[in-house]
Structure 1
Amino acid sequence: MKIVFMGTPQFAVASLDELIKAGSEIAGVITAPDKPAGRGQKVSESAVKQYAVANGLRILQPANLKDPEFLAELRSLDADLQVVVAFRMLPEEVWNMPDKGTINLHASLLPHYRGAAPINWVLINGEKESGVTTFFLKHEIDTGNILFTEKITLTGHETAGELHDRLMHKGAGLLVKTVKAVESGRYNEHPQSSLLADDTELKSAPKIFKEMGKIDWNQPVTTVYNLIRGLSPTPAAYTSLNEKTFKIYRADYHDTDPGIQPGGFLTDNKTHLKFAAQDGFISVTDVQLEGKKRMNIEEFLRGVKL
């Protein structure tokens, strides 16, 4: 079975790698165009492109997925199946092209957390479990018939970066399982509507913006704690310290009466710095002050007296 793989970031690389290791024939790889990045605006290639180049795979980088030249080139690859992992929304003329359809890997337990940032929102909302889902693409984003899911239990302490890596590898394995099932024809499709009770409210996962990271210290301490880990490492939750932006990447929380106003802080200027929330303390351990590098709290307090 000839497969066209579509993806861009590191999350997708693990899936492409597992497909190749499993013996899949990759007819082509579709990824984002190169673009300038960083202070020097040096041209940057996507993680998927870098992997594809290293493994001698054919690469297409369309700026417009409806471009007739791209569609003709994609059609010439004569794929039986298309696989999408962390790419972008596809027009129907693309996802409906292969005989066996187009499958997508999504980093949540669908139908909950449809959207661009499922890993972040699962943690921000303090969920107890997450997982990965494979499904057939259709018109509306993340709504196609489900093929397989695999759950994982959350610790309640992992960051978005750590959950990203867990789901990246879990998803790669599930994708290989899904491709083999589609190839053999041994699978069942489950409409997402059949997995929801009539009164169930769907939880969504819209795109994350930097401004969402501003901490409201009047919130309960667990809400603040979940925001911090849900936005770590990027874009990172933040507050103000010494009239500068103070990013918090990792912290602990203590649900004891802080005894000071929300947003106030206590420190020994040596090993600990803790901020008061509505009903407890956030003790920060991994931070970055505007204009400085990221560092642990002991290193930070050696250089800044509060």
Structure 2
Amino acid sequence: MKNIFNIPKTFFGFLLASILFWLLINLSKEYTVEIAIDTVYTNLSIEKTIIETPIKKIPLLIKGSGFKLISTSFSNDQVVLNLEKANRKKDVHYYFYAEKLQSEVQSQLKSGIELISIQKDTIPLKIGTLHSKEVPLITNLDINFKLGHDLSSPVIVKPNTVLISGEESLLKNISFLELEPINLDNVAKNIKINASINTPPNIKPNITSAEISVFVDKFTEGEIEISVSIKNAPKEINIFPKKVKIIYKVGLKNFNKVDANLFKIECDYNQVKNNKATYLTPKLTELPDSISVVRIVPKKIDFLIHN
């Protein structure tokens, strides 16, 4: 037969009371421990900027009762350092001398916590003079169009520039800022989207996002004949053919606006003199913004010079 042990409830009561009594005795004792406390920097002059992220936590050696130390470990205490009191070493290099911070840090700790020492000799900083400049915004779009569709005009960004502020040495290497990457699939109509500005560390933009407008149209192919002109040519020259055919893509809404007067095809006779070529190459020097050229036919122009 199995033995059944009946443990009196009073036993558990004495056990719990003993544990609580032991905790009270030990937590009443004083202990010396090291903690890392969050650090906040204030009173930065309006014409100054912090170049590199300074130390976020300062190691402190503190003493206090177990109760005080436990409450400190579970609280969100922080030490505030006044940047107006920072010492300048040279150029952009500043520092706080730990020994001089002793009383200031002590005053910000909880009552009953004694600061033994700051476990660093100095707290370094880099503070530069604030400068500003305007740079363009560049899109980072990956667009896949629905079959037969394409951009009907260049993508527009509003605003297309951003005013950035920061230390001069950081600004001089920035010639533009890029918008966040955006992927668009199966696009068949106009789109407007907001995109965040990717900003380097320690640089402040006057705006954080911009609006991107993507204009889309269904495209079709068209063709048109254009007369060929010659530049840098001798007086007596004949070319064959005198016209070329331009095959182009255009959005349906602009199809009827395409006119031969909007195009210009040129051949440069210097091509023959410089490269000893036996033919001229037609090049499109003027065209409407609404079209994209597929090809020019023919690609070579024959010529004949009369003596």
TM (norm. structure 1) is 0.19
Compare CA radii of gyration and give the structure with the larger one: 2
Q: In proportion to residue count, which structure has more helix?
A: 1
TM (norm. structure 2) is 0.19
